[in-house]
Chains A and B, each alone.
Chain A
Amino acid sequence: MSAFVRHPASVEEAVGWLASIPGALPISGGASLMAMINARLVEPSCLVNLERLEELRGLSLQADGSLRIGAMTRHRDIAGSALLVGAHVLLRQAAAVIANRPVRNMGTIGGALGHADPAADYLGPLRCLDAEIEIAGRSGRRSVPMSQFILGWYETALAPGEIVVAARAPPLPAGATLYRKVARVSGDFATISCALRLEEDGRGTTARAAIGACGPAPLRSETAEELLRGGLGDAEAVARFGAALQAHADPIDDVRGSADYRLKLIPRVLASAIAELTGADRG
């Protein structure tokens, strides 16, 4: 063993090292971090290997019906988990289309959250599911709602030395879900993505939706979702819903598409995803 890679025995030991060793970085699956090290985009002084920390592994249903996914849980395991039912299926749908099979055998949900690539496939679904992110640091544990976890481009609520411990999705009313990823080719990052779930109550059905890759954080508007209630079959109401999300977008130009192109796609992808979930496109 080298001094460069350290193997903590507990989350507390891991965050202790991360806080006290200048330039230390946590390594989860390595799917993004190792690529960045290979490209010399980051040069950590040491890597704190989270792999053996039992507390960070696996999915579990909690007593209150919420679903907890440990940070070290791989995309492959989320894509194949029978514990994801009802609205939580959205996470399985997203995990299944991340990159390709070898990368899904490596990458983890905690790593994806810590890296916070705006095009990462989990961000929209977690936002759409009202998830909370459990965080550990030297000063203790805390929980941050997904709506407040991403602060800017690749910038998260994680303070230096803190790590993601788990993502927790609350129990939600059952409803159809869909993860729509628009990408140039299979396995690429999303040009734009749409996480969608239908939610019904006495006042009618509405859509809960989060758009990815059109700004630093997923776009969601609870206000617009309430205005849409009962109007999923009304093309004009759906168009207004798309326009409301479009108004919050801050996309960039990159190799996957121009900012203009992404803006144009927002209402179209939303409308087509809603039509697919409500069965309107089969009518």
Chain B
Amino acid sequence: MAEGLALIVNGKIARVAVGGAKTLLSALRDDLRVLSPKRGCNQGVCGSCTVLIDGEPRRACLTLVERCEGVDVRTVEGLANDKFMQALQRAFVVSGGVQCGFCTPGVLASARALLAETPAPDEGEVKAALSGNLCRCTGYRTIVEAVLAAAKEVSL
């Protein structure tokens, strides 16, 4: 077993083993049991593994874990007290933006990054920001409504 690596996941230091082309997604799910990022396509297409790296949404499945030393890795588990995430959670409940839930953590990561960067996004900006997150329940309309409502709530 190769020597380990120190990650900062949701504000806490966590050691994971490295070896081969191990991805951040594998470290999160398989080693640390941080299970909100999902292994969907493993090709960077579906968006269900989207996490925040230094605040930016990126694909955990395409991120080499050995490039994550010293960076801030955030998943929805580590955003419970975040004002943007709290507004998003409430809005998703109200508008019914969650169906099966598989895409939801990735959608929330992308939406959280949008709200932190663009305080009052219009519908087109929301759709552009979420265009890399596929929802196969096709709940897009309610998802977009929820993000718009959350943006409004945060700005109040």
Contact = CB atoms under 8 A, between A and B. Distances in A.
B110 interface: yes
A2 B2 contact: yes
Contact of B59 (A1, A44, A103): A103
A35 B66 contact: no
B61 interface: yes
A49 B66 contact: yes
Given A39-B43, A103-B44, A49 B67 contact: yes
Contact of B131 (A27, A38, A47, A100): A100
A102 B66 contact: no
B19 A34 contact: no
B56 interface: yes
Contacts of A31: 44, 59, 62
Contacts of A35: 42-44, 61-62
B42 A39 contact: yes
Given A30-B62, A49-B64, A38 B19 contact: no
A57 to B, nearest CB: 14
B59 A27 contact: no
A2 B5 CA distance: 9
Interface in A1-36: 1-5, 27, 30-31, 34-35
Contacts of A49: 64, 66-67
Contacts of A51: 67
B58 A105 contact: yes
Nearest to A76: B56
Nearest to B42: A38
A70 B49 CA distance: 28
Interface in B116-138: 128-129, 131-132
* B-side interface size class: 20 to 34
B58 A106 contact: yes
Contacts of B21: 4-5, 34, 37, 44, 47
B137 to A, nearest CB: 17
A38 B43 contact: yes
Nearest to B21: A37
B142 interface: no
A100 B19 contact: no
B66 A99 contact: no
Contact of A47 (B5, B50, B53, B64): B64
A160 B18 CA distance: 27
Contacts of B20: 2, 4
A34 B57 contact: no
Contacts of A100: 47, 131-132
B89 interface: no
A106 B3 contact: no
Contacts of A2: 2-3, 18-20, 66
B36 to A, nearest CB: 15
A39 B104 CA distance: 24
Interface string B126-155: 001101100000000000000000000000
B131 A187 contact: yes
A164 B116 CA distance: 34
B23 interface: yes
A246 to B, nearest CB: 31
A186 interface: yes
B57 A101 contact: yes
A2 B53 CA distance: 22
Contacts of B132: 99-103, 187
A2 to B, nearest CB: 4
Interface of B: 2-3, 5, 18-21, 23, 42-44, 47, 50, 53, 56-59, 61-64, 66-67, 110, 113, 128-129, 131-132
11 contacts: A2-B3, A2-B19, A2-B20, A3-B2, A5-B64, A5-B67, A34-B64, A101-B57, A103-B59, A106-B59, A187-B131
Interface of A: 1-5, 27, 30-31, 34-35, 37-39, 44, 47, 49, 51, 99-103, 105-106, 186-187
